[in-house]
Amino acid sequence: MGNKLKILLFSPYLPACGTVGCARKIYDFIRLLSQRGYAIYLLSFCSQEDKKRAVLISPYCSKIYLEYLKDYRRYPVSSFYFKKTIDEFSKNKTVDILQCENSYLRRYFPLAIDIPSVLVEHEVLSVSFWEKAGFEVNPIKKLILYARSVKKTFEEKKWYSKFNRIIVFSEVDKNIISLRHKMKNIDVVALGINSKEYSLPRESEKLYDLIFVGNFSHSPNVDAVLYFCKEILPLIKKNIPDVSFLIAGANPPLFIKNLPKFNKNIIVTGYIENLKDIYAKSKVFVAPIRYGTGMRFKILEALASGVAVVTTFIGARGIDFKDIIKTTDGKHEFADAVIELLGDSDKRQELAIRGREAVERYYDWSKLLDKYEDIYYNLLNN
């Protein structure tokens, strides 16, 4: 494909393994692209907790520019440091392409740039706010969410128009942006996973019937766990009284940490750096996601680890093989799907093997990086 490119990549959080799914996505992307000979210049916000992880991504970058935050819950209104850095890259023509991970980072750009730009939109936040409002019972909070959705819609229209190409993870997100903003410069490239780092577990004792993994700074994960524990788990317990449920992930709020006080078969671990042993000891991964766009890395990770998955239609957005994961809406239907899998070890094993094969075939980074390369070179040659 000619000379390898120099890419300025702008991330909202430090790309690292063992953190949020999208941070892992960006980490794998940079690492594997650099192995293909690309030069990556990384601009990233970085939490105080993530400072220690910067050494993990630095070997794969030509240079790193970091701006530190207390955590990823609040971002600054503007950043002179990032605007100045992007402006210098643009004026000096130091890089070939600017890739931005999430549209809201556009606020930190200078007014004009002279670099072809690609947006990777992880989540259409205006839609996520609107969907979340539908489940909010507090009328004041509901109105606030609707207002945020409207505000975000106008912001997204402004930001999207500034990029030469937009990449989304699913046809759902492409259709949303196309219909709302009349844009045609959109490509669908699924969220990827480095499947070589996961392996089907050997036969081992299954200590946990059910497992959920997710970063609880992301509100759909909090909603999913509470919805499951309140509405679905009691239905499962009618058939399986001692069903166990492991909840893993960083930043669980206090009311999730306290769930074991009300059910001795619920285990809340908090952040776990290496989930391989946990997946190996779990029977079914549950992801009762009720709102949010984008694509769920947690489901790809469960499939790559050989765990059968039950999720909602929203949770399965961007994943094509619906016959390999159990996809259903409605609390009774979800509970029935879980009960069926818990009672059928042969079916779980079949889904585990087929899920792993499908991830390798369709969602491994070795396949998806080619699509990014095509987008880059088509953009530069047009």
pLDDT at 25 over 70: yes
How confident is the model over 95-127, as pLDDT tens digits?
A: 999 999 999 999 999 988 989 999 999 999 999
* pLDDT value, residue 228: 96
Confidence of residue 59 (pLDDT cuts 50, 70, 90): very high
From the list 62, 109, 51, 103, the residue with the least C-alpha distance to 85 is: 109
pLDDT at 240 over 70: yes
**Domains 6-135+145-192+365-381 and 196-362 in one fold:** yes
pLDDT at 374 over 90: yes
The ranges assigned to domains in the chain are: 6-135+145-192+365-381, 196-362
196-362 maps to CATH 1.10.10.410: no
Average pLDDT over residues 21-29: 85
Under 8 Å between Cβ of 376 and 118: yes
How confident is the model over 242-257, as pLDDT tens digits?
A: 999 999 988 889 999 9
State the Cα–Cα distance between residues 302 and 307, nearest whole angstrom.
5
* pLDDT value, residue 19: 61
Average pLDDT over residues 314-337: 89
Burial of 341 per CB tally in 10 Å (0-12, 13-18, 19+): buried
How confident is the model over 73-91, as pLDDT tens digits?
A: 889 999 999 999 999 999 9
* Residue 338, token pair as written in the block: 């879980």
State the Cα–Cα distance between residues 38 and 228, nearest whole angstrom.
43
**Bridge-partner residues for 9, per DSSP?**
42, 99
Cα four-point dihedral sign 171, 172, 174, 179: positive
Under 8 Å between Cβ of 348 and 201: no
6-135+145-192+365-381 maps to CATH 3.40.50.2000: yes
Confidence of residue 1 (pLDDT cuts 50, 70, 90): very low
